[in-house]
Amino acid sequence: MPSALPLADPAPADGLLPATAADGASDRAFGVYLHVPFCRVRCGYCDFNTYTADELRGAKRSDYADQAAAEVAWAARVLAGSRLPARPASTVFLGGGTPTLLPVADLARMLAAVREHIGIAPGAEVTTEANPDSVDAASLAALAAAGVTRVSFGMQSAVPSVLATLERTHDPERIPHVVRWAREAGLEVSLDVIYGTPGETLDDWRRSLEAVLAEDPDHVSAYALIVEDGTKLARQIRSGGVAAPDDDLQADMYEFADALLGAAGYSWYEVSNWARSAADGTPDPRHRSRHNLAYWTGEDWWGIGPGAHSHVGGVRWWNAKHPAAYAERIARGDSPAVGRETLSVEDREVERILLQSRIREGIAVTSLAPDARREVAGLIADGLIDGGAALRGRLTLTLRGRLLADDVVRRLT
């Protein structure tokens, strides 16, 4: 969750949504994102809305679970008051920050609030992010008992020098232990890694990928390092103290990852995400991140917590950013939202292409505007989309297209 919030209209005090938000809602999935904005240390590359202990300015971690639970109750009232159909959450995602810095009892209380006020559907995917040094066997077992079904570990790298550049604090040798503990608790496991860190070599990246595959996870996320304005890393690069990421090397790293993961039985289902393959060689739906797929396919979700974003039926809003400001609004019984926008038809179409083009199923060619359809032949000729799939009616990215996904979107919009 980026730390900067967009400019838009003020959010209404009652939080009620326009009548158009209910259109087609019964056909859309509903998810809940629970943002936990706390970290032990701030990593130099991170632009997420997170806070260390000395940045809280009076907000207390110990109060946070009750504040989040209060917003969950508020969300249920707003949805009902806006005449949205009752939809239990098909996915819940505890993200951050580092959710597992909070006691398991606090996270369980937040999930219990979702279960009580919104509902959690049978078979729902319930994920928590975790740093490898923020959990142990007992806490993972307790999370599973509270209803968590999946854990996403922020591994980032298996190479100590790369972790040091990223200012990650965990010991890479801890990864096998936390994965084993998660398995023993009955949890699905995802490992997140970053490539293109300044100073990281292709051999370093190979070591990290081999360490990932040694743990046989259900899911792998691999993200290119992006230098965000305002971060410590951006300042280091501007001052010349650290080299900027090399775009060509990052492309080589992506291609290497796709080849290595594919050979090991994983299939890409979104540009930066791979799931264990099913028998037919396609990504097994049971191992995809259903919550993130809901973002990419334009479903509805409510984001709980400081700076959290929500989207329901083409209406997007976001909460007060700082935990203290968020806490004050919750204590007064006010809406925590500070900004809102209703997307135009044109905005929703651009967003649809931006997001759905990134997933393996792609976009129906017939759903594109005439000008966009005229671009399809050129995209095939440039090797950016799969010609055979296009003839069958789907616009799907090739490996080259995944590397140049932004260019594909520009040409289609």
User: Where exactly are the structural domains of the chain?
Assistant: 19-342, 345-412
pLDDT of the residue at 8: 73
User: 4-20 in b/e burial notation, b at 16+ Cβ within 10 A?
Assistant: ebeeeeebeeebebeee
Cβ–Cβ < 8 Å for 62, 93: no
Query: How do the pLDDT tens digits run along the chain, 413 residues long?
Result: 555 556 578 899 999 999 999 999 999 999 999 999 999 998 999 999 999 998 999 899 999 999 999 999 999 999 999 999 999 999 999 999 999 999 999 999 999 999 999 999 999 999 999 999 999 999 999 999 999 999 999 999 999 999 999 999 999 999 999 999 999 999 999 999 999 999 999 999 999 999 999 999 999 999 999 999 999 999 999 999 999 999 999 999 999 999 999 999 999 999 999 999 999 999 999 999 999 999 999 999 999 999 999 999 999 999 999 999 999 999 999 999 999 999 999 999 999 999 999 999 999 999 999 999 999 999 999 999 999 999 999 999 999 999 999 999 999 99
Instruction: Work out the angle at residue 233's Cα, subtended by the Cα atoms of residues 223 and 127, and round it to the nearest 5 degrees.
Output: 40
Does domain 19-342 fall under CATH 3.20.20.70? My reply is: yes
pLDDT of the residue at 7: 58
pLDDT of the residue at 9: 83
pLDDT of the residue at 141: 98
Quick check: do 19-342 and 345-412 share a fold? no
Between CA 401 and CA 236 the distance in angstroms is: 31
Between CA 96 and CA 320 the distance in angstroms is: 15
pLDDT of the residue at 334: 94
Q: What is the DSSP string of 250-309?
A: HHHHHHHHHHHHHHTTEEEEETTEEEEB-TTSSBPGGGS-HHHHHHHTT-EEEEESTT-E
Tokens of 59: 């907000």
Architecture of domain 345-412: Orthogonal Bundle (1.10)
